[in-house]
Amino acid sequence: MSDVSTNVTNTTPIMQTVLDTLNSGWGYTFGGILLVAAAGYFGVKKLNTPRFVIKQIRRRNLKEMKKLGAESTEATEDFDRLLNSVEAYAIKQKMTGSEMSQLLSPLQQEKSSATGGNFYHSMAYIAKNIGDGNLAKALQNKSKQVRTSSPLMAGLLKRAGV
């Protein structure tokens, strides 16, 4: 019985200190920090999805095409078809946005010469890697037909980082 009363006697000053600390505002500070950290974690998790990354790529490309005055061209439509296929593949494979963006890395090769044919070859390579044979074949055929001197292709190549 004496053991219980000693523990209660020793615990009372410690609990009073904890309560005084919580009442002084530190509890709100720690709670705010935890809230910001949790919001940041869930925000990054939401932004790192294939759908969001593809949406951002499309938005940037559309902005670049509007600058050039060529929003609805065949090259833009082909690139959109590729992005649709990559997005579907990434969702099916349960990839994150950063993993999915690695699939598009052949479009960002700076070493290759900046021609429309190479751009279409890169798109065909990506389509083949994700298992979309029909799209790869169509893009490969178009790579032979593309004009390399068009301002549209120059804009697409610039936007893709080629």
Using one digit for the tens of pLDDT, what is the confidence trace for 68-100?
A: 666 557 777 888 888 888 888 888 888 888 888
Domain boundary among 47, 66, 82: 47
Whether residue 101 contacts residue 53, with contact meaning beta carbons closer than 8 Å, is answered with: yes
Residues 9 and 87 in one domain: no
pLDDT tens digits, 14-25: 766 766 665 666
Q: pTM for this one?
A: 0.62
For residue 26, give its domain range.
2-47
Residues 42 and 99 in one domain: no
- Of 3 and 77, more confident: 77
Give the tokens for residue 24.
Answer: 């002084």
Domain boundary among 47, 63, 83: 47
- How far is it, in rounded angstroms, from Cα 44 to Cα 63? 24
Residues 106 and 133 in one domain: yes
pLDDT computed for residue 131 by the predictor: 86
Give the tokens for residue 90.
Answer: 């990434």
CA 81 to chain centre: 18
pLDDT tens digits, 118-134: 778 888 888 888 888 88
Residues 42 and 92 in one domain: no
Residues 156 and 100 in one domain: yes
Residues 33 and 72 in one domain: no
For the chain, what is the domain count? Answer: 2
Residues 153 and 91 in one domain: yes
- How far is it, in rounded angstroms, from Cα 122 to Cα 137? 12
- How far is it, in rounded angstroms, from Cα 96 to Cα 162? 24
Residues 55 and 9 in one domain: no
Residues 68 and 147 in one domain: yes
Q: What is the mean pLDDT of the chain?
A: 76
Residues 146 and 95 in one domain: yes
DSSP secondary structure code for residue 72 in this structure? S
Scored b (16 or more CB within 10 A) or e, 38-50 reads eeeeeeeeeebbb
Residues 85 and 139 in one domain: yes
Residues 94 and 19 in one domain: no
Whether residue 158 contacts residue 103, with contact meaning beta carbons closer than 8 Å, is answered with: no
Strands (E), the chain: none
pLDDT computed for residue 75 by the predictor: 76
